[in-house]
Amino acid sequence: MNPLITDFRVHAPATPVIVALDFDNASTTLNFVRQLRPELCQLKIGKELFTASGRSLAESLINQGFKLFLDLKFHDIPNTVAAACKAAAQMGVWMVDMHASGGKRMMEAAADAVAHFSSPPLLIGVTVLTSMAQQDLAEVGVSCSIEEQVLRLASLAQQSGLNGVVSSAQEAELLKSRLGDDFVLVTPGIRLNTDNTQDDQRRIMTPKAALASGSHYLVIGRPITQAAAPAAVLSDINLGLL
């Protein structure tokens, strides 16, 4: 097993919450982040915001003391993904992800690329997107159940030296029982009891339920970013009130 896998708790954040910065420009993002504090959350930048604002915004957030999840879901030939992960490590990101369906050679190359860094980013494999249902898998030629596909890809990610995977909280208990407590489970699709948001996430769960199922980190976007008082909602989540 990759030694990185057993080290993730050594410098683990005090909170499991990762706020998804689902904005389309740097100015709006920075204005929003001024309401938050690094001890209350980690931050996530995805494809839209990174494409619009690039490396400078990511480095600005890191320089403010936030742990940053660079959510670009790399999926390419091994050398290209390895080089991208190395660049992310040089930026000082806390976590970076890639599609586990890219295969073992790709993931092993990524793990090798960051192994020599003194504080390498957590490498996380994407299993089955939480927007996908059984019919979506069938349309791309996957005939097994979502749970079987998630477990297959998560097991491959672990064998390849990755620290953990992204999956829905509905698979967290299964993954924890099969892959152990030290394999990091990052869970998007988190919704609050008070949230009536309609969006493209299908396999969803509340923060308390997700943590109880075995998730280590909770990715929460719109319930916080679209709240009238984002810092208050974040504090309530950390206190376990929602």
Q: How far apart are CA 112 and CA 184, in angstroms?
A: 18
Is 73 known to be catalytic?
yes
Q: Which of 47, 67, 73, 104 is catalytic?
A: 73
Q: How far apart are CA 52 and CA 190, in angstroms?
A: 25
Cα-Cα end-to-end distance for the chain: 36
| Length of the chain, in residues | 242
CB 125 within 8 A of CB 98: yes
DSSP collapsed to 3 states, the chain: CCHHHHHCCCCCCCCCEEEECCCCCHHHHHHHHCCCCCCCCEEEECHHHHHHHHHHHHHHHHHCCCCEEEEEEECCCHHHHHHHHHHHHHHCCCEEEEEHHHCHHHHHHHHHHHCCCCCCCEEEEECCCCCCCHHHHHHCCCCCCHHHHHHHHHHHHHHCCCCEEECCHHHHHHHHHHHCCCCEEEECCECCCCCCCCCCCCCCECHHHHHHHCCCEEEECHHHHCCCCHHHHHHHHHCCCC
Catalytic residue IDs: 73
